Amino acid sequence: MYFCTGLGKASTKPTWAFDYSASAPIYLLLSPVKNPQGISTSNSAMPSSSPSLLSSPLPSPATLFSKKPPSLRAERRAVRVVATAAAAAPVAAARAGPSAAEVARTVVELAPSGTLSVVGPDGWPLGVGARFVADAAGAPALCLAASGVAAPDARSSFHVEFRQSGARTPQCTMIGTLTKPSDESVLKKLSTRWQKKFGEEVDQHLLYLISVERILHMENFNEDGMWVVPSEYTGAEPDPLRNFAENIVEEMNSKHAEDVHRIYNIYVESDFQVADVKMIWVDRLGFDLHVHSGQGVFSVRIPFSREVSDEKGVKSSFNMMSHHAWEVEKSYSSPEFEKVQFLKKVR
């Protein structure tokens, strides 16, 4: 005869007792009872917790009795749902970043000023700094008050750079012709953009546009440049996270440094001792880390499992990756993705 008793809230399956004295089996199934006194389900039983940007449920204490529990609790299932999204196989690091055209558009949108270079009447090149805004196609509109610099239809170049977290300086140089816009609608739109970016009105008589004919993009100082086709530049969209990317990076480094280190340890394959890990930039496809070690400073790109388009999405992605990294770190699950193996030495 078989008897079934349900003991313990920690299990949703019945517990079987066996009596082989009977010749014919009789099955008796009793529903599991509530948690008896003496079995603690306090969260204080957990050895550690995973810090995260957003509050999410962590495994219940019952699941910590075994690295591979026989059943999943509601809390455990909630974490697994989160981790599954984060564990989706990311694309290769080389394809995980935005294109050079998109980076150039983003730099032009973010940088407040640049350097205009023209050839003066005496044949010598002359460079002056100028504030600017970008029109709808990404062409810089400069406010030039210096006499002898603004020469309509003059061949010129405009160099723009943007410092990311004090660690990297993506930049682009646009080569084209300096023109004087005369269309009132164009001037009005540029004035509106100027007001929005700098909080002040601009003298429309001092506005000049550069017709972009060639673009040279560089990821950082001392790196090879890449020429960008003008049609790709004008067709590219600036990164949607650009206006709050620096704030997210600062928050991750200052308030969630443990998450940054944990994500690096789980998602990156490396064989050297790490002294420090800092996030330097985040965009719609992933984020960049600078890894400090005794062998130098390395840059590594970690892709998101899916593209993000707003602040809520990027924080959710970081939260999911942190949870999954925490599970792998505690041996509650195995990494279900291919680790990033490409690290570039930057200094």
Tell me how many degrees the CA angle 216-218-221 measures, rounded to the nearest 5: 135
Digit-by-digit pLDDT tens for the chain (347 residues) are: 444 444 444 433 333 343 433 444 443 333 444 443 443 333 333 344 444 454 333 333 333 333 344 343 443 333 333 333 334 434 444 457 899 999 999 999 999 999 999 887 788 888 999 999 999 999 999 998 765 676 777 889 999 999 998 889 999 999 999 999 989 999 999 999 999 999 999 999 899 999 899 999 999 988 889 999 999 999 999 999 999 999 999 999 999 999 999 999 999 988 888 899 999 999 999 999 999 998 899 999 999 989 999 999 999 999 999 999 899 888 887 777 788 888 888 88
Q: Which two structure tokens, joined as six digits, stand for 78?
A: 């909630």
Q: What is the pLDDT of residue 53?
A: 53
Nearest in space to 80 (alpha carbons), one of 316, 320, 286: 320
- What residues have CB less than 8 Å from 233, skipping those under 6 apart? 101, 104, 105, 138, 212, 215
* C-alpha dihedral sign at 89, 95, 98, 103: positive
User: Dihedral (C-alpha) 40, 42, 45, 46: value to the nearest 10 degrees?
Assistant: 140
Which regions of 59-145 does DSSP assign to beta strands (E)?
Answer: 113-119, 125-134, 140-143
Sign of CA dihedral 184, 187, 191, 193: positive
Query: How far is residue 334's CA from residue 160's CA, in Å, rounded to a whole number?
Result: 44
The answer to whether 303 and 285 are in contact (CB under 8 A) is yes
Q: Residues of 128-166 as b/e, b for ≥16 C-beta within 10 angstroms?
A: bebbbbbeeebbbbbbbeeeebbbeeeebbbbbbbebbe
- Strand arrangement of the beta sheet that strand 286-293 belongs to: 274-282, 286-293, 296-303, 343-345
**How confident is the model at residue 146, as a pLDDT?**
66
Which helix (H) or strand (E) segment is 190 a member of?
A: helix 184-198
Tell me, what's the pLDDT at 147? Answer: 58
List CB contacts of 270: < 8 A, sequence separation 6 or more: 291, 298, 343
Please give the pLDDT value at position 313. Answer: 95
Q: How far is CA 60 from CA 57, 99, 165, 181, in A?
A: 9, 43, 38, 65
- Tokens matching residue 45: 């039983």
The pLDDT value recorded for residue 107 is 97
Query: According to the model, what pLDDT value does residue 271 have?
Result: 81
Rounded CA separation 296/280 (Å)? 16
What lies within 8 Å, CB to CB, of 26 at 6+ separation is 1, 2
Residue 210: CA count within 13 A, CB half-sphere: 33
